[in-house]
Structure 1
Amino acid sequence: MLIKSQKVVVAFSAWAILTLTLLTLFNSLNYEYLFVLDLLGLLVITQLLSPYTMKPKWRPRLDIFLMAGVAIFALLVSNKALQMIS
């Protein structure tokens, strides 16, 4: 039986492969689309699989990746906004 941290890794791996496959099938493979979809998947999976009553040991390490992903997402959005303005 898998522990919670392993379930997060397995679920995210399945999500990443699914998004990569779908983007390839629709000929929309782009690093920005892949990154945003994978970040959204990781955020949803983290919320669904983490317990509500306590914070497990693995959660702070995952939060570092989530904060870095949100920061990169903000950079991508600001870059697209600047491209649209100019």
Structure 2
Amino acid sequence: MPTHRRRRFIHGQTAWMLASVLALALLEALTVELFFVLSLIGFLVVTELTAPFAVTPRWRKRLKWIIALGLLAFGVIVVRRILEILPSGVL
């Protein structure tokens, strides 16, 4: 049974992702990359806002791996975008 804090974390992340999809759809800018970046930003914000002060539960310790994978994927997206912008003869 998830604890109250875990449930609050999941609700916060779900709300952020739904708001991101809605905002991107209203702006007609919905792409997988933009949704991923906004979801990662939301994940980092919700992680910090719901962090406990004294004791860190085991499930929160595993979030660092998800954050690391998310930042790695973000780096891949940034590099791909930079390579798209650069002229063909630069690299």
TM over 0.5: yes
Aligned to 1:29, what secondary structure does the other structure show?
Answer: coil
2:50 corresponds to which residue?
A: 49
Distance 2:62 2:36 in 1: 19
Identity level (%): 29
Scaled by the length of structure 1, what TM-score is found?
0.91
1:71 corresponds to which residue?
A: 72
Deviating beyond 4 angstroms after TM superposition, the runs of 4 or more aligned structure 1 residues are: none
* Unaligned ranges ≥5, structure 1: none
Distance 1:81 1:43 in 2: 24
2:17 corresponds to which residue?
A: 16
Amino acid at match of 1:18: A
Distance 1:60 1:36 in 2: 22
1:5 corresponds to which residue?
A: 6
Distance 1:56 1:74 in 2: 28
Distance 1:79 1:10 in 2: 32
From the CA coordinates, give the structure whose radius of gyration is larger: 2
1:84 corresponds to which residue?
A: 85
Shift of residue 41, structure 1, vs aligned partner: 0.5
Shift of residue 61, structure 1, vs aligned partner: 1.9
* Unaligned ranges ≥5, structure 2: none
